[in-house]
Amino acid sequence: MSHDPWIWIGALLTLMIFSFLYKDNPFYKFAEHLFVGVANGYYIVFYWQNALMPNLFEPLGAGNLVYLVPLLLGLMYFARFIPKIGWLVRIPIGFMIGWGAGISIPAHFQAFVLRQLQGTIITPQSFSNPIEGVWAVIILIGVICTLVYFYFSKEHKGILKPVSRLGILFIMIGFGASFGYTVMARVSLLIGRIQFLLGPWLGLIE
């Protein structure tokens, strides 16, 4: 069993959080509130030390007055707390939206639309390996059927009906895969905590 007080604190807090699985209780509440407090403290100190100090206050202290512009823009966010000058908040928001849209719209088209569309195009090269070729066809059918399912401008009758039905099937398979992976992820977290309790704390496993 560990002699390290930090391991003990970690282990006891883990057990306090797990106690919620039985029912809500003061130990769980204590651990939850402690976590929220510690996390907030960590974030504030971290941002102050690693974002505000090196990126704003140190250059300003060194006489680099151009940094007054981001300082001013940042301070304008707080204008919303004063109704008379609340409109000032639109300036930094407008700046962020303009910058963000300009930088992300072309990149989104390139990475998430054009490249993904390319991935559905079947070429003779797709069949260089027969199994890969079959998968390429399935992907194409899946994309078309799913898009048809989300096409609401026309009633799903005639040919659209079976195609959209097939689309639902692809969507359901996607949901199933997501659920399976989610179970795996959650169980992994439990395994991680059990490994910590049995290993560093109790010393029962390596």
Query: Which residues sit at the interface with other proteins, rule CB under 8 A?
Result: 21-22, 42-43, 46-47, 50-51, 55, 103-104, 106-108, 110-112, 115-116, 118-119, 139, 174, 177-178, 181-185, 187-195, 198, 204-205
- Written as one letter, the residue type at 123 is T
Residues 6+ apart with CB under 8 A from 120: 139, 140, 143
Shortest distance in whole angstroms from residue 101 CB to other proteins: 12
CA angle 68, 70, 74 (to 5 degrees): 115
Do 104 and 110 touch, CB atoms closer than 8 A? no
- In whole angstroms, what separates CA 59 from the centre of its chain? 32
**Cβ nearer to other proteins, comparing 6 with 81:** 6
**Cβ nearer to other proteins, comparing 89 with 139:** 139
**Cβ nearer to other proteins, comparing 151 with 179:** 179
Shortest distance in whole angstroms from residue 163 CB to other proteins: 21
**Cβ nearer to other proteins, comparing 33 with 108:** 108
Sign of CA dihedral 96, 101, 103, 108: positive
Shortest distance in whole angstroms from residue 82 CB to other proteins: 27
**Cβ nearer to other proteins, comparing 82 with 105:** 105
- Written as one letter, the residue type at 172 is M
Shortest distance in whole angstroms from residue 158 CB to other proteins: 30
Shortest distance in whole angstroms from residue 155 CB to other proteins: 30
Spell out the alpha helix ranges (H) of 48-129: 58-61, 68-76, 90-108, 115-120
Indicate the angle between helix axes 26-47 and 5-18, nearest 10 degrees: 120
